Amino acid sequence: MKSFDVIIVGSGFSGLSAAYYLQQAGFKVKVLEVSSQSGGRARSDKMDGYTLDRGLHFYHHSTTELKKIININELELKNTYPGYLLRYQNTFNLFTNPVYQTFDSLSTALSQNATFTDKMRLFGLYVKLKTLPYNKLVKENESSTFEYFSKNGFSKKLIDSLFRPMLAANIFDYNLQSSSRFSKIYLKSLFQDHVALPKDGIGKISKTIANKLEPNTISFKTKVKKVVDNGVELMNGEFIESKFVIVATNAIDANGVLHREVLSAECSHVTTLYFSADKAPVSKAVVILNGNESGLVNHVFVPTNLHKEYAPKGKHLIAVNVVKEHDLDDEELEIKCLTELSDWFGLSVMDWKHLKTYYIKYAMPFKPILDEVRFFKKVSDTIYCCGDSLSIGSMETALRSGRETASIVAQELEKNPSTLEKLEFQQ
């Protein structure tokens, strides 16, 4: 029977992080991954010369955890435009991160959908979030995000035309029912730094971390049936023994392998449709937001405006994102999105070629209340859960969760004399 110090279920950011730190401490680790590649929600597929991220993802430069594991320069990052192109009614205006924008240009960008008071309050929100530390932000009074904006004097028009699509593009909560603390943490991140994409897709990040692990650490296409105190049972009937098990999947899958509800499985979803075109609808590498309440499309981005390598030579890749609920089938959704976008960019949109649609059920943990920020959960003496479903949905949180869980498990392993003897023998 195979035996390891630690088995990790899932090779997303938290699982990879936990594996890295445990191996650095000298422990024998096996990572079990149900799919054919690592990365969890942040994976990329190659198709006919196109790079398709499984949902539109960005790297935030405020991330500190990743730099502890890899050299960021390996990712060949390029920054997006620091703001948004906001479509409101029938016009487009660039809404830039306030640090790059004068009050006059902000007034112009929000002239149709914001009052003078809105603009002043928006600057005030920027200053507050820019200067308030994260540890104080998570202790502010809790409410829904919508209640927070309303109580702080923002008009319904600005909430509907700016905050809804902007937060839907980041945490997939168009209804603004998530925790106000949760939303403010994201807004702080958006206000204080650029976001970027790796040259080879968001999946490059997990591949770079995985390359730091010992050979054959990850077993792909390996489905876990059940996690127990002394190991895991696989779907094929095989049992793999271990001293500890770390479940590093999304909450739905974690509850499934643990055969009980251990984590809150509330989540937000998104649908991403990819199209190919001979010409990009815009020239800037900017996220385009739908500031109108009508329509399914929430935001659009052209990755080839940032990295031409995302598509074959002479072609552009366009990511169209839907956050609202709908009951359309694949063909109906495609036609609906193209029809809407033809009003945005003209009838040439109807010549775009559909490449693939991703329905991402677990795009982000949904947090109606952020009562605490945790990085691991002890299920039993030998089973732990980690991942961003425990607190804030982000790469930073997932990586930190893996690191802190690895630290706790390593401390427990070091209490076992037989484990220490084995490590001394290996050294």
3-state SS, one letter per residue, for the chain:
CCEEEEEEECCCHHHHHHHHHHHHCCCCEEEECCCCCCCCCCCEEEECCEEEECCCCCEECCCCCHHHCCCHHHHCCEECCCEEEEEECCEEEEEECHHHCCHHHHHHHCCCCCCHHHHHHHHHHHHHHHHCCHHHHCCCCCCEHHHHHHHCCCCHHHHHHHHHHHHHHHHCCCCCCCEHHHHHHHHHHHHHCCEEECCCCCHHHHHHHHCCCCCCCEECCCCEEEEECCEEEECCCCEEEEEEEEECCCHHHHHHHHCCCCCCCCEEEEEEEEEEECCCCCCCCCEEEECCCCCCEEEEECHHHCCHHHCCCCCEEEEEEECCCCCCCHHHHHHHHHHHHHHHHCHHHHHCEEEEEEEEEEEEECCCCCCCCCCEEECCCCEEEECHHHCCCCHHHHHHHHHHHHHHHHHHHHCCHHHHHHHHHHC
Q: What is the pLDDT of residue 1?
A: 59
Q: Residue 194 — very low, low, confident or very high, per pLDDT cuts 50/70/90?
A: confident
With a cut of 50, say whether residue 427 has pLDDT above it.
no
Q: What is the SS3 string spanning 230-249?
A: CEEEECCCCEEEEEEEEECC
Encode pLDDT of 356-370 as tens digits.
999 999 999 988 877
With a cut of 60, say whether residue 333 has pLDDT above it.
yes
Encode pLDDT of 112-133 as tens digits.
777 888 888 888 898 898 888 8
Distances (CA, A) of 35 to 85, 220, 226, 238, 266: 36, 6, 17, 18, 23
Residue 376 burial by Cβ neighbours in a 10 Å radius (0-12, 13-18, 19+): buried
Encoded amino acid at 234, one letter? L
Task: Provide the β-strand partners of residue 21.
Answer: none
Mean pLDDT of 58-77: 94
With a cut of 90, say whether residue 286 has pLDDT above it.
yes
* Phi-psi region at 174: left, alpha or beta (left = phi > 0; alpha = psi -120 to 50): alpha
Q: What is the pLDDT of residue 426?
A: 35
Q: What is the pLDDT of residue 23?
A: 98
With a cut of 80, say whether residue 193 has pLDDT above it.
no
Q: What angle do CA 315, 276, 96 make, to 5 degrees?
A: 85
With a cut of 70, say whether residue 98 has pLDDT above it.
no
Q: What is the pLDDT of residue 421?
A: 39
Encode pLDDT of 296-325 as tens digits.
999 999 999 999 999 999 999 999 999 999
Encode pLDDT of 347-404 as tens digits.
999 999 999 999 999 999 988 877 777 899 999 999 999 999 998 889 999 999 999 9
With a cut of 80, say whether residue 192 has pLDDT above it.
no
Residue that is written with structure tokens 């739908």 in the block: 290
- The order of strands in the sheet holding 195-197 is 59-60, 195-197, 78-79
Contacts 24+ apart (CB under 8 A), 111-114: 112/88, 113/88, 113/157, 113/158, 113/161, 113/162, 113/291, 114/155, 114/157, 114/158, 114/162
Q: Residue 111 — very low, low, confident or very high, per pLDDT cuts 50/70/90?
A: low
Distances (CA, A) of 341 to 99, 353, 387: 30, 13, 36
Mean pLDDT of 47-63: 93
Encode pLDDT of 1-38 as tens digits.
578 999 999 999 999 999 999 999 999 999 999 999 99
Q: Give the span between the Cα atoms of 67 and 363, in whole angstroms.
A: 24
| Residue 297 contacts residue 341 (beta carbons within 8 Å) | yes
Mean pLDDT of 90-94: 87
Choose among 15, 21, 23: nearest CA to 206.
15
Q: Residue 82 — very low, low, confident or very high, per pLDDT cuts 50/70/90?
A: confident
